[in-house]
Structure formats: C-alpha cells, structure tokens
Amino acid sequence: MKRCIIKVAGACYTALFPSTCAAVADAMTRFPYATKISVRLA
C-alpha cells in the first residue's frame, strides 16, 4: 500500500491505496463534480 496525498479543489487529504490510479478513481467517486484532482505519493 502507498500513502497518497490527494488534492481536490484546493482541499487535501491523505489515504492508503494500492496505486495512484486507485487514488484518482476513489477521488472521482467521492467528488464527482470536482474540476481538478491531483494525486502524488507522500
């Protein structure tokens, strides 16, 4: 598992995911109307 920093519309949170792609998919599910999502490894 990898700790990722997810930034959605200026707000940040961290979580554990198997990959950064999984983190992006999770953020898209949580915030379906977000216009900007970025993910990086912590």
Q: What is the mean pLDDT of the chain?
A: 96
pLDDT bin (cut points 50, 70, 90) of residue 27 is very high
pLDDT bin (cut points 50, 70, 90) of residue 6 is very high
* pLDDT tens per residue across span 7-23: 999 899 999 999 999 99
* Phi, psi (degrees; rounded to nearest 5) at 22: -65, -35
Q: How confident is the model over 13-40, as a mean pLDDT?
A: 96
Q: What share of the chain in percent tops pLDDT 90?
A: 95
Q: What is the pLDDT of residue 21?
A: 96
